[in-house]
Amino acid sequence: MTAVVEVKNPLLDAHTQLSRAVEVLGYSAGMYDMLATPRRELTVSVPLRRDDGTVELLVGHRVQHNLSRGPSKGGLRYSHDVTLDEVRALAMWMTWKCALVDVPYGGAKGGVRFDPRQYSRSEVERVTRRYTSEIMPMIGPSQDIPAPDIGTDEDIMAWMMDTYSVNRGHTVLGVVTGKPVALGGSLGRASATSRGVVYVALAAMRHQGLEPAASTAAVQGFGKVGRGAARFLEEAGVKVVAASDQYGAVHASQGLNIRALESHVDATGSVAGFTESEALDEPDDLLYLEIDLLIPAAVEGVITESNARRVRAAVVVEGANGPTSPGADDILTARGQLVVPDILANAGGVIVSYFEWVQANQAYWWAEAEVEKRLEERMVRAWERVRDHAVLHDIPLRLAATSLAVETVTTAHLARGLYP
């Protein structure tokens, strides 16, 4: 018997989601093409001199999907499986996310195809500086503003900002967000995506009649988004019974001690081997646990038509971008499971990135409590708007969120008119 291999292409998922929204909105095929096509794409060679003196050639991309509402904004991903189509999909989702939470940006994304954990820190710095100089014509505080994503962090943002500034001849703090606080980063940025995920997760659980303090959760991915989400859920009284990363998954029916798990990950690099828990046979088994809340916070394409029927959580809140395929969405919705889409659930990161950019442009920094208050207000407002739209039109949250966002972008596009 030949095994069926599922080919994952997040761009196909992004196009399907867009075409569903365009159908609801009654837009033309021409408008769909405009909305589905990136405005600009750049593919660059990134030659890297390794520490042993050999030279390796890496490939990087930067895609600006839409610029109708302002400069474009989106993360930079370092991963061995980055593709141009993945970057295109992630850039499109950024456009919808920025429109949905009303920050004045279009969407962009970047990526370099390499696994930073296989390289020394100084090699990663050289990759970052060369990639930044190659994409320099496209980026800038009023053009396109990168931020951290999978495999990148605040040090990498500092190197990008420094490379850009040295080439411009003066310091330009607003060219990237997610920088260290010592270098114009915003207080509250590092935890913003996870906080936002948890604000929305708690609201979605209550909407489904679940009391968070009596609920259980599992978190897939224990990186910047996943570990913070697990910690804030625990603080809200939710019992986090399982967590995973690409190396393994751990489970404790009495609830994981998240602080202890974080210390274990800091010391070993993985959740695997955490003593106060038992290991699941396969990391993906976490998706199928009998729990109230599932937070996929790792990579795209993890819940598909082939495994959606095994997912038992009443509420799925997408910490990651694109974890659920449109076919899986349909299966979960038909079974009464609530999926809170990525463009709403993980928008906390871009909201506080926007605050960081505003602070950098004004050279005036806010207190952490102010950042968190404004983040919560925006997340709660966006959740209520999407929920009300979904209830009113009896449509899934993803379709409600995408159509609201697409309408906002299209209105701006039409108001600008076509040049020439």
Where in the sequence numbering do the catalytic residues fall?
Answer: 109
Q: Which is nearer to ligand NAD, 111 or 174 (CB)?
A: 111
- x/- track of binding to ligand NAD for residues 311-340 (CB under 6 A): --------xxx-------------------
Q: What is the DSSP string of 142-179?
A: TTEEEEE-TT--HHHHHHHHHHHHHHHTS--GGG-SS-
For ligand NAD, which stretch binds (CB under 6 A), given 13-21, 115-123, 160-168, 239-247? 239-247
CB of 35 to ligand NAD, least distance (A): 21
| Window contacting ligand NAD (CB under 6 A); options: 100-108, 224-232, 333-341, 381-389 | 224-232
CB contact at 8 A, 326 and 17: yes
Query: From the CB of 353, what's the least distance to ligand NAD, in Å?
Result: 8
Pairing of strands 40-49, 55-64: antiparallel
Question: Which region among 115-123, 216-224, 388-396, 405-413 touches ligand NAD (by CB under 6 A)?
Answer: 216-224
Given the complex with ligand NAD, which of 86 and 292 has the nearer CB atom?
Answer: 86
Quick check: 349 binds ligand NAD (CB under 6 A)? yes
Site for ligand NAD in 165-194 (CB under 6 A): 193
Shortest CB 392 distance to ligand NAD, Å: 27
Cα-flanking dihedrals φ and ψ of residue 63, to 5°? -120, 130
Sign of CA dihedral 257, 78, 90, 72: positive
Q: Which is nearer to ligand NAD, 38 or 349 (CB)?
A: 349
How many angstroms separate the CA atoms of 20 and 398, rounded?
A: 10
Segment contacting ligand NAD (CB under 6 A): 56-64, 66-74, 223-231, 364-372? 223-231
Contact status: 60 vs ligand NAD (CB under 6 A): no
Q: Which is nearer to ligand NAD, 151 or 188 (CB)?
A: 151
Separation between Cα atoms, residue 159 and residue 178, nearest integer Å: 12
Residue 109 has φ and ψ, to the nearest 5°, of -160, 155
Q: Which two tokens stand for residue 326?
A: 């449109």
Residue 419 amino acid letter: Y
Q: Is 17 near ligand NAD (CB under 6 A)?
A: no
CA-angle at 221, arms to 106 and 379, nearest 5°: 45
128 part of the interface to ligand NAD, by CB under 6 A: no
Residue nearest to ligand NAD (CB): 223
- Site for ligand NAD (CB under 6 A): which residue of 13, 86, 144, 149? 149
Does 116 bind ligand NAD (CB under 6 A)? Our answer is no
**Site residues for ligand NAD, window 283-312 (CB under 6 A)?**
283, 297-299
220 touching ligand NAD, by CB under 6 A: yes
Residue with tokens 């761009």: 11
For residue 330, which amino acid is it? D
The DSSP H or E segment spanning 234 is: helix 224-235
Which residue lies nearer to ligand NAD by CB, 184 or 410? 184
Burial of 414 (0-12, 13-18, 19+ CB in 10 A): exposed
| CB of 265 vs ligand NAD, minimal distance in Å | 8
- AA letter at 402: T
Which of 18, 58, 225, 256 touches ligand NAD by CB under 6 A? 225
Q: How far apart are CA 177 and CA 229, in angstroms?
A: 20
- Note whether 245 binds ligand NAD by CB under 6 A: yes
Minimum CB–partner distance for residue 26 and ligand NAD (Å): 30
Q: Is 221 in the site for ligand NAD (CB under 6 A)?
A: yes
The answer to whether residue 341 forms part of the interface with ligand NAD (CB under 6 A) is: no
d(CA 15, CA 265): 36
Structure tokens at 2: 């030949």
Closer residue to ligand NAD, CB minimum distance, 14 or 22: 14
User: Which tokens hold the place of 51?
Assistant: 């520490």
**Least spacing, CB of residue 304 vs ligand NAD, in Å:** 13
Residue count of the chain:
420
Whole-number Å distance between alpha carbons of 62 and 296: 25
Q: How many CB atoms lie within 10 A of CB 238?
A: 26
Distance, in Å, from the CA atom of 94 to the CA atom of 334, rounded to the nearest integer, reads 27
Q: Does 224 bind ligand NAD (CB under 6 A)?
A: yes
Q: If we measure between CA atoms, which residue out of 402, 213, 234 comes closest to residue 318?
A: 402
Would you give the end-to-end CA distance of the chain in angstroms? 58
Nearer CB in complex with ligand NAD: 45/268: 268
> What is the closest distance, in whole angstroms, from the C-beta atom of residue 96 to ligand NAD in the complex?
13
Binding site for ligand NAD (CB under 6 A): 148-151, 193, 220-226, 244-246, 283, 297-299, 319-321, 346, 349
